[in-house]
Amino acid sequence: MYIKRAAENTIKKLDKMFPVLLVTGPRQVGKTTLLQKLCTPERKYVSLDDPDLRYLAKSDPALFLQRYTPPVLIDEIQYATELLPYIKMSVDASKRKSDFWLTGSQVFQLMKDVSESLAGRVGIVNLLGLSNAEIYSYPSQPYNPDAENLLSRLKQTKRQGLNDIYARIFRGSMPELYANPDMDWEVYYRSYVATYLQRDIRDLAQVADEMQFYKFMTIAAAHTSRPVIYEEFAKAAGISAPTAKKWLSLLVSSHIIALVQPYSNNILKRMVKMPLLHFLDTGLAAYLLRWGNPAALESGAMSGAFFESYVFSEIYKSYLNGGKEAPLYYYRDKDQKEIDLLLVQNGCVHPLEIKKAASPGKTAIRNFKALSTLNCGCGNVLCLAADLLPIDQKNWYVPAWLI
Per-residue pLDDT at 198: 77
Minimal CA–CA distance to 204: which of 323, 341, 108?
108
* Residue 269 pLDDT: 60
Sign of the torsion formed by the C-alpha atoms of 315, 319, 321 and 322: positive
> Rounded to an integer, what distance in angstroms lies between the CA atom of residue 395 and that of residue 235?
41
Is residue 74 exposed (0-12), middle (13-18) or buried (19+ Cβ within 10 Å)? buried
pLDDT block averages, 10 residues each, the chain of length 403 = 92 96 93 95 95 96 96 93 93 95 75 75 94 93 94 90 97 95 94 86 72 92 94 91 91 92 72 87 97 96 98 97 94 85 92 95 92 90 96 95 93
* Percent of the chain as helix, strand, coil, to the nearest 5: 45, 15, 35
User: What is the per-residue pLDDT for 117?
Assistant: 79
Prediction pTM value: 0.93
CA dihedral 65, 66, 67, 73 (to 10 degrees): 30
* Residue 131: CB atoms within 10 Å: 23
Partners of 104 in the β-ladder? 24
